[in-house]
Amino acid sequence: MKRLLRLFLSTLNYAVKREFEFKFNLLFFLIFNIVWILTSLAGISLVFKEAGTIAGWTRPQAMLLVLVYYITGSVIKALVIPGANQLAELVRTGGFDFYLLKPVDAQLLVSLTKMYPNQLARILIVAFALPWYLGKMGLAVSFGSWMLFLILIILAVTAFYNLYFIIASLSFWLQNIFNLNDLFAEILDVGKRTTDIFTGVAGGAILFVIPVGLIATIPAKVLMGTAGWEILPLLLLSNLILFVISRKFFRFAIRFYSSASS
């Protein structure tokens, strides 16, 4: 575990230093993200001018949902999607051979050796905006609710890590899979909208099977005080099941890998 933590920190350190080598690009990315977030909020405002409420959500609540989405989505785009994309590329080119030779679990190694820290810039932006906006809404969030909020963010990231690696593992059979990044982004983008529009079986699936509801809807409800710790046991259980499926599927899929030397 210590070795993996050192590997993660060294990779993150390298990635951050690489980003700061191009300071103008980083500055442009920060400005672009501020504009993009404001554009998303403006779009929400226009929609709710006509709709009033959507699935019981008001305009201020929907804007809070978008802010929460940018926190979770940015972590997933920075730490999860790069590794999943890299797995498909390594399998296609035969570069996966080198990961199998290392004295570290291949899946973890692929996951930890590529990340996009510039995506984390959005978190810094929203970290300043979120408390201010909650105050503007008249919401006083307790310490316990903030803790649950952070736990849900972690669960969302791990759930999407497992889901995306299940999808990426299909490359062991379909080695010409392209545009995985677009697929991952499209799945993630669903979380920008409230999942309360789904009911019945679809509502359960969108939370526990394809956990889009964990991206923003449930964490936002925690901040608003309409959801609490009672939902955590089921989310932990579904996350554990998804993790087991992801690991077993990866280990099964790896048997079908044709190395570059074969």
Residue 2 lies in a domain: no
- Alpha-helical regions (H) of 190-261: 200-208, 217-224, 232-253
pLDDT digits (tens, 9 = 90+) for 238-261: 899 999 999 999 999 888 887 655
pTM: 0.85
Q: Token digits for 177?
A: 């899979």
Residue 13 lies in a domain: yes
Residue 202 lies in a domain: yes
- The Cα–Cα gap between 89 and 175 comes to 8
Residue 207 lies in a domain: yes
Of 150, 193, 160, 188, the closest CA to residue 64 belongs to: 193
pLDDT digits (tens, 9 = 90+) for 146-176: 999 999 999 999 999 998 888 888 888 876 6
Structurally, how many domains does the chain consist of?
1
Residue 1 lies in a domain: no
Residue 19's pLDDT is: 59
Residue 261 lies in a domain: no
List the domain range (segments joined by +) for residue 178. 7-256
Residue 168 lies in a domain: yes
